[in-house]
Every structure is written in C-alpha cells, then in structure tokens.
Amino acid sequence: MAKSNKPIFWGLFAAGGTVTAFVTPVLVLLTLFAAMGFSPDLFTYEALRGFAAHWLGKLIILGVIVLSLWHAAHRLRVTVHDFGVRADAVVAYVVYGIAGLGTLMTIVYLLRI
C-alpha cells in the first residue's frame, strides 16, 4: 500500500488548529474592545499599519490568516463528510481551492502594504 499524501493538508490543519485555538479568541476579544471604543494607542490605524508594513508583521499576519484558512477548509471537508455527503473529491477541490485562493490574496494584499 502506498503511503498517504494527506499529511500535507493535515499538517496545515493541525498547525491552523493550534493557531486558531490560541490566537483567534484573543483577536476576537481585541476587535470587540476596539468596537466598544476601548482602543489604546496600540490599536490605532497608524500602529497597526506599521505592524503590517514590517516584514515580520507581514509574516505573522500571513501565518495566522493562511493557517486558519487551511484549518477551516479541512475541517469543513471532514464535517461535510460527517454530514453524509459522499463526494469527497469534489468537496476537497472546492474547500482547498477557496483556501488556496485566500492564500494568494493574502500574499498579494500583504505585499501591497
């Protein structure tokens, strides 16, 4: 039997799961704070733009967005399967396609900053 190539997607899924578990709740909370008017200097437009303009900031933003996307894609693929849809190849192309597109867009938009 041939060894599986699923580790590619599962690796991104697992890494993305770790990122979304630790980082996403914090981001949601910070966004809520900002939305409620509680925005210290750290969250000002200039500060965040400065963060996104630095190569390290770009790398961190890229990691969070891309890994979350691939995590969500794989999670959705398995969830669709668990709901009884037996079209794994089609579902895989669709969800990974969206994640791939999102990855490209993230790179493009980050490079433009």
Partner 1 sequence: MSEERQIQLEVLRYNPETDSQPRYQTYTVPCVNEWVVLDALNYVKENLDPTLSYRWSCHMAVCGSCGYMINGEPKLGCKAFIHEYGDHIRVEPLANFPIERDLVTVVEDFIAKLASVKPYLIPKEDKPISAGEFRQTPAELKKYKQYTLCINCMLCYAACPQYGLVPEFLGPAAISMAHRYNQDSRDGGRDQRQEVVATDEGVWECSFVGACSEVCPKHVDPAGALQQVKVASTIDWYKEHLMPWVKK
Binding site for partner 1 (CB under 8 A): 1-8, 10-11, 14, 78, 81-82
Listed in sequence order, the residues at least 6 apart from 8 whose beta carbon sits closer than 8 Å to its beta carbon are none
- Residue 81 Cβ, how far from partner 1 at the closest point, in Å? 6
Residue placing its CB nearer to partner 1 in the complex, 27 or 85: 85
- Residue 100 Cβ, how far from partner 1 at the closest point, in Å? 19
Residue placing its CB nearer to partner 1 in the complex, 6 or 54: 6
Residue placing its CB nearer to partner 1 in the complex, 46 or 82: 82
Q: Is the dihedral of CA 28, 29, 35, 39 positive or negative?
A: negative
57 neighbors 113 (Cβ within 8 angstroms): no
- Residue 1 Cβ, how far from partner 1 at the closest point, in Å? 4
Burial code (b: 16+ CB inside 10 Å, e: under 16) for 16-25 equals bbebbeeeee
